[in-house]
Structure 1
Amino acid sequence: MATGKLVVQRLSDTIVHELERRILDGALKPGDRLPPERELCVELGVSRPSLREAIQKLVSKGMLFSRQGGGTYVTDQLDAGFTDPWHNMLAQHPKLQDDLLEFRGMLEKEAARLAARRATDADRQRIGEAYARVDALFAQGTSTAVLAQQVKADLAFHQAVAEAAHNAMIGHLTASLLKVINDHIDRNLRHLRRNEEDWGRLREQHRAVWEAIRDADPAAAVRAVEGHIAFVHESMKARALHEEREHRARGVGGDTEG
């Protein structure tokens, strides 16, 4: 009869597993600072030596890093490998924007569908607050002074939906994707602000996504995202045409002056 000793997991490995779970779930986000050692030890019910050993293991794995001046932070390594090359590729190959938007649509439709099914009361509260913020900022109109806040609030709303899907890959891929398209959202909002009707349609689309998730209606959530992505695609084409005309106009003006 075969016998063997039970393998007992080191406490530090258990702590590593818990902190990794929090990072994957989005409870600890890239750039977040870990709570002070004393607080984290009390929360996890562990000793400082075990916690420090776990943190060192996560630093070695590239999940955490220390900053000069104190503090341990969650790395953005999970996102960096995706975002860095795509920023350059999109700048050099504008036609990739259609592929990017198609991928965004696939990802956001599934995120909204799952969020409508899986969102907890806490998730719905976060999404509701994110929606209220983006709508309040959009209600301020087209002042250039609030554009940066509007872009940030728009991104935060979409990320809140992604996190409510309770799928680690969707949450992290959405965070990476939103970093890639940050500049495009900025440019699109600048273009849409030219037309009050388009601006109003954009606000209605955010509300439709929020209400579908609030009402736990996956089919409505998918339809709302489909409508939003179709509108974004339409506005991107209109923006490209407008920019091309402006470029031509400047070229003609330059030739005349020369």
Structure 2
Amino acid sequence: MKKNEGKKGIFSPIKTSKIPDEVYKQIVSMISSGQLKPGQKLPPEREMASDLGISRQSIREALYRAETMGLIEVRQGEGSFVLSSVLECLKSPLTVLLEEEAERIFEFLEVRKLIEGWCAEKASTEATAEDLKKMGEILAKMESIGLADEEWEKVDVEFHLSIAAATHNVIAMHIMDALKDTFNAFFRFRQVITKPDKKGLILQHHNEIFEAISQRDPLLAKRRIVGHLDFIEKKIKEDMEKMQT
């Protein structure tokens, strides 16, 4: 008799091309309904994959998303635990909107171009030597060999925030800080920025943006950061089109 034969898991089999998204929705639903309670340990990845009939990689992606949203905590060597109820989870309304209406990511990117274009332009005239040093240190960190996807995402956001900080405009800094949790929350966005063949290009873009700011060239800095976000937008569109074919 097989190990899981006759045993009914708490998850329902997945029948869709967007597997990690569906697993995540089941997790949210079970936490929302109280089937999974704060402090409760989720089944092991292997068991969840068996119950759902999918790969462990899809389970990991769904768990990572739930962790990013503050719903669960993944403890090394112990497993995944529910942190809070959905209502208690302090999740950005913007993040929720992007989850429900994926196409809104392009509107979000339009706004980012406006805000970050201005920030890059302003930073080119206002950045101090300390600001430039900070940006350089972040880029050096991004160049680290073997940087894991999760850490890469954090450092990517850190670079964009460092540009806002270099404007010395408190409002701009607060706006960017408020948006930071939404930057990479969208699954398709994270897929683009963490692909091995894209990391090199993204790092190149960042270095070019930094170079323009260091050279005190506002128009070039603005053009380069908008071009960087145009590139991200193009790749997300390509990925979404592939999913629809």
Q: TM-score range by the shorter chain?
A: 0.5 to 0.7
**Pairing 1:147–2:149 present:** yes
Please state how far the C-alpha of 1:132 moved relative to its aligned partner. 1.4
Give, in whole Å, the separation in 1 of the partners of 2:193 and 2:162.
Answer: 23
Larger Rg: 1
Q: What amino acid is the match of 1:229?
A: L
- 2:104 corresponds, among 96, 110, 115, to 96
CA contact (8 A) 1:112 1:225 kept: yes
- Do residues 223 (structure 1) and 223 (structure 2) align? yes
Give the letter aligned to residue 222 of structure 2. V
> Post-superposition shift, 1:170?
0.8
Give the secondary-structure state (helix, strand or coil) at the position aligned to 1:175.
helix
Q: Which amino acid aligns with 1:109?
A: G
State percent identity of aligned pairs: 25
1:118 aligned onto 2:139: no
Tell me the distance in 2 between the aligned counterparts of 1:164 and 1:90: 28
> In the alignment, residue 131 of structure 1 is paired with which amino acid?
L
Render the CA deviation track for 1:49-76: whole Å, top value 9, x for unaligned. Answer: xxxxxxxxxxxxxxxxxxxxxxxxxxxx
Gaps of 5+ in 2: 1-89
CA-CA distance at 1:162 after TM superposition: 0.6
Change (3 A) 1:163 1:152: same
Mapped contact 2:121–2:222 kept (Cα < 8 A):
yes
Equivalent AA in structure 2 for residue 188 of structure 1: F
Residues 36-61 of structure 1: CA deviation (Å, up to 9, x unaligned): xxxxxxxxxxxxxxxxxxxxxxxxxx
CA distance in 2, matches of 1:214, 1:85: 35
SS in 2 for 1:95: helix
AA of the residue aligned to 1:182: N
Give CA deviations for 1:124-176 in whole Å, capped at 9, x if unaligned. 11111112112x14x54xxxx70001001001011011100111111111111
Find 2:179's aligned residue among 177, 182, 201: 177
> Which secondary structure does the structure 2 equivalent of 1:179 belong to?
helix
More helix by share: 1
Matched residue, 2:81: none
Aligned length: 156
Aligned to 1:166, the other structure's residue is in SS state coil
CA distance, structure 2, for counterparts of residue 229 and residue 190 of structure 1: 15
- Taking a change above 3 Å as real, the CA distance of residues 193 and 125 of structure 1, as seen in their structure-2 partners, is closer
Provide the residue aligned with 2:136 in structure 1.
128
What code does the residue aligned with 1:96 have?
R
Partners of 1:192 and 1:235 within 8 A in 2: no
User: Are the structure 2 counterparts of residues 88 and 165 from structure 1 closer, same or farther at C-alpha, using a change threshold of 3 Å?
Assistant: same
CA separation in 2, counterparts of 1:91 and 1:219?
Answer: 34
1:188 deviation in Å? 3.1
